[in-house]
Amino acid sequence: MRFTDSHCHLTMADADAALARAREGGVHGFVVPATKLDDIAGAVAVAQRHDDVWAAVGFHPHEAKDCDDAAFAEVERAADEPRVVAIGECGLDYHYMHSPRETQMAVLERHIDLAKRLDKPIIIHNRESTADMVAILERSGARGILHSYTEDAETARKLIERGFYISFSGILTFRSADALRACAKVLPHDRVLIETDTPFLAPVPFRGRENEPAYVVKVAEQLAALWGMGLEEVAARTTANFAALFRVILAG
């Protein structure tokens, strides 16, 4: 059985140890998204060191205020690296509002333009900003992934129609997440990915602990229960989706 983790911030963890534990648990295939300039070299380095790790580069909406022309030029430069398979993490976050809304939107648009220019998927963070996000993505012409998805099935379907994939994190296992489980249950199986968002959002029964890619199996188990299929099939489908979206080949 082979699992993948579409979103793990291994720049914020002991990457090599966490990867070794994950592989022991059957997880082979990881995307490490950078969230700011300081993060980019680390994300690319992990990907260069490991055959089953790829990087994404961009500015998290919290950091959007620091994404000036010079900083974005560095994102563009890093995006050309062969191990960089996606643009992000970027998006909108109106919950914390660490950067002004207009800045977040402008920076997101820059990332979308870059993703389209390079024909790479975009990794989207969205929190309490769904109306603006859907409006932007629907007319963007970009493809990509809604990471740690928490919205409803109707919104997911709209974005799936435009070429997006939906990635579920450990939130799917939280006791309070009945609405999200109802959403995951009805989505097309060929458009769903799994992730940890390491070191955040550890799934049940590890909630409150530091998350790591090995725990992505708990998200897959939840999907297997919702979809009424074996864990093996969920592993195979989400791994195929990972390979299709990021256009990577997962060896042996």
Residues contributing to the site for Zn ion (CB under 5 A): 89
Radius of gyration over alpha carbons of the chain, in Å? 16
Query: Looking at beta carbons, which residue is closest to Zn ion?
Result: 89
Closer to Zn ion at the Cβ: 115 or 226?
115
Of all helices (H) and strands (E), which one includes residue 168? strand 164-168
CB of 186 to Zn ion, least distance (A): 25
Q: Tell me if residue 146 falls in helix, strand or coil.
A: strand
Q: Which two tokens stand for residue 18?
A: 């966490």
Query: What minimum distance in Å lies between the beta carbon of 165 and Zn ion?
Result: 15
Cβ atoms of residues 65 and 103 within 8 Å: yes
The nearer residue to Zn ion, 226 or 246, going by C-beta atoms, is: 246
Nearer to Zn ion, 89 or 212 (CB): 89
Find the shortest distance in angstroms from Cβ 127 to Zn ion: 11
Cβ 9 to Zn ion, closest distance in Å? 6
Of the candidates 42, 8, 44, 4, the one whose C-alpha atom is nearest the C-alpha of residue 23 is 4
Residue nearer to Zn ion on the CB measure, 89 or 151: 89
Which helix (H) or strand (E) segment holds residue 123: the answer is: strand 122-127
Residue 85 beta carbon to Zn ion: minimum distance, rounded to whole angstroms:
16
Query: Cβ closer to Zn ion: 86 or 226?
Result: 86
Whose Cβ is closer to Zn ion: residue 8's or residue 184's?
A: 8
For CA atoms 131, 198, 157, 151, the dihedral sign is negative
Minimum CB separation of residue 223 from Zn ion in Å reads 20
If you write DSSP's letter for every residue of 43-109 in order, what string do you get?
HHHHHHH-TTEEEEE---GGGGGG--HHHHHHHHHHHTSTTEEEEEEEEEETTT-SS-HHHHHHHHH
